[in-house]
Amino acid sequence: MSGDAAAARAEVTRLQALRDVATGLKIAYWAEQIDIQSEVVRGLAACADGKSGECVAILSAAATREDATEKHAVTPGPILPARETLASVLLKEGKAADALREFEAVLTKEPNRYRAFAGAMQAAERTRDTGKATTFATRIVEQTATADSARPEIAQARKLLGK
């Protein structure tokens, strides 16, 4: 989410070329995964162009496609789920309640994701849902108990919990 629409559009073109190669090799699963990623990047390009509605619509459609795809047996799952990207965009746009719903959906499908916990905590705080904010903050603190990171989300979680 660099905000560079031109660079994002160039990456979409590159991803679509990779998708076409995968299609030609008859590896449909990977062609679909690459196409979903190209849609995520296309959505982020729309965001960078200031087209918020188009951005959210494209990201939402990509997230729905990703959710409908079975995970390949030998892969760990998406590095950055499309729905998590959608949730982050919604949070950035001030749509905290929508973002919270999306982060919770990510955690249902991809449990224990640090970024989803962090985003959900922030969204819950912004919607004044202290119960959920506390739950997500607790999960972050538990997940990072032995971390020596200075990530701001960890500090925010500890502050919220009074630690």
Helical segments of 49-151, H only: 52-68, 82-92, 96-109, 114-126, 130-143
Report domain extents, the chain.
1-75, 80-163
**What's the whole-model pTM score?**
0.86
In this prediction, residue 2 carries a pLDDT of 66
State the architecture of 80-163 in CATH terms. Alpha Horseshoe (1.25)
Q: What is the distance of C-alpha 118 from the center of its chain?
A: 11
- Classify each residue of 137-146 as buried b or exposed e, where b means 16 or more C-beta atoms within 10 Å of its C-beta: bebbbebbee
Q: CA–CA separation, 4 vs 16, rounded Å?
A: 19
In this prediction, residue 78 carries a pLDDT of 73
Q: Name residue 62's amino acid.
A: A
In this prediction, residue 72 carries a pLDDT of 60
User: Residue 45 is encoded by which pair of tokens?
Assistant: 């390009």
In this prediction, residue 76 carries a pLDDT of 63
Q: CA–CA separation, 88 vs 132, rounded Å?
A: 17
Series of mean pLDDT values for 10-residue runs along the chain (163 residues) = 83 94 93 94 94 95 90 68 95 97 94 94 97 96 89 92 88
In this prediction, residue 89 carries a pLDDT of 96
Residue among 103, 98, 96, 48 at smallest CA distance from 81: 103
In this prediction, residue 80 carries a pLDDT of 87
Rounded (to 5) percent helix, strand, coil in the chain: 75, 0, 25
